[in-house]
Amino acid sequence: MTAETVSADPATKPSRLDAIFKRQKAAFEAERHRRLEDRKADLKKIEDMVKARGEAFAAAIDADFGRRSAAETAIAEAGFTIATAKHSRQHLERWAAPKKKPVPMTMAPGNAYVRREPKGVVGIVAPWNYPMQLALAPLVAALAAGCRVMIKPSEFTPRTGELLKEALGELFSEDHVAVIEGGPDVAEAFCALPFDHLFYTGSTHVGRLVARAAAENLTPVTLELGGKSPTVIAPDFDVAEAAKTIAWGKFLNAGQTCVAPDYVLAPRGSQQKFAEAVIEEAGRMWPDVAENGDYTAIVSEKHHARLSAMVEEAKSAGATVLQAPFDKARAGNTRIFPPTVVVDPPLEIKLMTEEIFGPVLPVLGHDGMSEAARFVNERDRPLALYVYSKNKQTARRFLARTISGGAAVNTPMLHLSVEDLPFGGVGASGQGAYHGEYGFLTFTHERAVFETPAWHPSRLIAPPYGKVFEFFKKLQTG
């Protein structure tokens, strides 16, 4: 199946998209406040579906990538989705309950509270790198909030998109959850719909286009973007020890992870030692990447060619390039790209100016944590930041000096798996957040309510203004 054959589906025509949207809008108006028990049942359906179809999704993703580690799919896609659905079910009643707020003396008597209400019909644009998890995790949050949902999977993973459509179609009517397959033209029409909220995961470049399309309808957006997430090793942390977890974080899913370490700043003079340690660790974790089923392929020839060009540019510029042993003839897949480390690349080449999104790790030296912080701060705000230090205060001081969407100390990426932490970017790496209650709130309108008795003292301060008004004014202004 190709993206072209998928986009030919009549269901992707603009008139069809509009019809599905209108049906969902009507269904939401008919059931504006879906019962919590029904929402929990919706989440349990997804949880059970992923458990039942885990192998089918692994096979579909493997086919889309040309080779995708079944273990990585089980942990990072199926396991993550099951965990987030279960967590949301368990905490939904607390999240959805009205939140009582204090009433100032000048407004008494009265009752102030916040109603947490579903926004309505929402759109989710999912990417290709984790095509199941990054479609279903936002769906869990939207259904927990009580919304109706339309999902646009990536055209780069058409088999997974088709399976999502089939699996969710068995669980939900189309006026509740609909999956829309197709290419960029369909995505453009999708983002132009007047959703009550639009959730996008993908590149910063496309994120800007999504935000512009949503702005036409004043649709609020959550943008989960990428960027160059730095990893900084303090002088007190052994670089060979740091390499053990950095190699895992970088080469998981062949580096095709939005929060993968994009580049490393190591104490100056240790770059080569660190680079060699990373390659050694990669060889230990994924021996013989040519035929190792646990090492994932690059999703497309175009992306593979882009990575190859980046490395060649670095070589031509005089940088040292280290690669894990790789016999291309034995790979049986032209999109396998071996773990690669580039030592001291020039800052003006693409490896250092563009998000890499592949198994290539640039390593540069720093002359202290202050210089490292300055280097990070001179660039766009990253989605994630990782700092390695034996001293907790050193790590926390570095976090205080920098800005990023999320961060972790002495490990990469694991902050994503803490359900009660928000996951999102800042600046060029995105806006808004989700996971756990933060995801529920993304698709929820917090409606302020103030109730008073039939008669309220506020009538006493209406015009014509007199002594009672002056008394209230003094209370307010002190």
27-67 pLDDT, tens digit each: 999 999 999 999 999 999 999 999 999 999 999 999 999 99
* DSSP-derived 3-state class of residue 177: strand
- Residue 387's alpha-carbon distances to 241, 298, 365, 390, 433, in angstroms, are 13, 27, 14, 10, 22
321-369 pLDDT, tens digit each: 999 999 888 887 779 999 999 999 999 999 999 999 999 999 999 999 9
Q: Token match 């800005």: residue?
A: 403
Q: Token match 């509740």: residue?
A: 176
Active-site entry in 147, 162, 191, 258: 258
The yes-or-no answer on residue 224 being catalytic is: yes
The domains of the chain, with CATH numbers, are 3-225+429-447 (3.40.605.10), 235-418 (3.40.309.10)
- Count Cβ atoms below 10 Å from residue 56 Cβ, excluding itself: 13
214-229 pLDDT, tens digit each: 999 999 999 999 899 9
Per the DSSP assignment, residues forming a β-bridge with 221 are: 198
Average pLDDT over residues 138-142: 98
- Residue 436's alpha-carbon distances to 36, 127, 416, 473, in angstroms, are 16, 20, 11, 43
Tokens representing 285?
């974790």
Nearest by Cα to 182 from 230, 126, 234: 126
What totals of helices (H) and strands (E) does the chain contain, helices first? 18, 16
Average pLDDT over residues 155-159: 97
pLDDT for position 332:
77
Angle at 280 between CA 278 and CA 71, to 5 degrees: 80
Q: Are 124 and 138 in contact (CB under 8 A)?
A: yes
Tokens representing 372?
């490292």
Confidence check: pLDDT of 249 > 60: yes
Tokens representing 215?
């702005």
Q: Are 140 and 90 in contact (CB under 8 A)?
A: no
pLDDT for position 327:
86
Tokens representing 376?
């990070």
Nearest by Cα to 243 from 273, 268, 269: 273
Q: Are 379 and 354 in contact (CB under 8 A)?
A: no
How far is Cα 426 from Cα 262, in angstroms, rounded to an integer?
Answer: 17
Cis peptide before 109 (omega within 30 of 0): yes
How far is Cα 464 from Cα 458, in angstroms, rounded to an integer?
Answer: 13
* DSSP-derived 3-state class of residue 463: coil
Side chain identity, residue 406: G
pLDDT for position 9:
53
pLDDT for position 169:
98
Q: Strand 111-118 vs strand 384-388: parallel, antiparallel, or unpaired?
A: unpaired
84-94 pLDDT, tens digit each: 999 999 999 99
- Residue 399's alpha-carbon distances to 130, 225, 237, 431, 466, in angstroms, are 28, 21, 16, 19, 55
390-424 pLDDT, tens digit each: 999 999 999 999 999 999 999 999 999 999 999 99
Average pLDDT over residues 79-83: 97
pLDDT for position 470:
86
179-232 pLDDT, tens digit each: 999 999 999 999 999 999 999 999 999 999 999 999 999 999 999 998 999 999
Angle at 191 between CA 20 and CA 179, to 5 degrees: 45
92-118 pLDDT, tens digit each: 999 999 999 999 988 899 999 999 999
370-390 pLDDT, tens digit each: 999 999 999 999 999 999 999
> If you compute the radius of gyration of the chain from its CA atoms, what whole number of angstroms results?
25
How far is Cα 258 from Cα 228, in angstroms, rounded to an integer?
Answer: 9
pLDDT for position 3:
33
- Count Cβ atoms below 10 Å from residue 155 Cβ, excluding itself: 20
Largest pairwise CA distance in the chain: 92
- How many CA atoms are closer than 13 Å to the CA of 162, on its beta-carbon side? 17
Cis peptide before 464 (omega within 30 of 0): yes
Q: What is the pLDDT confidence band of residue 1, given thresholds at 50, 70 and 90? A: very low
Confidence check: pLDDT of 267 > 70: yes
Q: Name the average pLDDT for the chain.
A: 95
The pTM of the full predicted model, rounded to 2 decimals, is 0.94
Average pLDDT over residues 434-455: 97
How far is Cα 294 from Cα 67, in angstroms, rounded to an integer?
Answer: 9
Active-site entry in 224, 355, 419, 437: 224
Confidence check: pLDDT of 135 > 60: yes
Q: Are 140 and 48 in contact (CB under 8 A)?
A: no
Average pLDDT over residues 244-271: 98
Angle at 450 between CA 447 and CA 453, to 5 degrees: 150
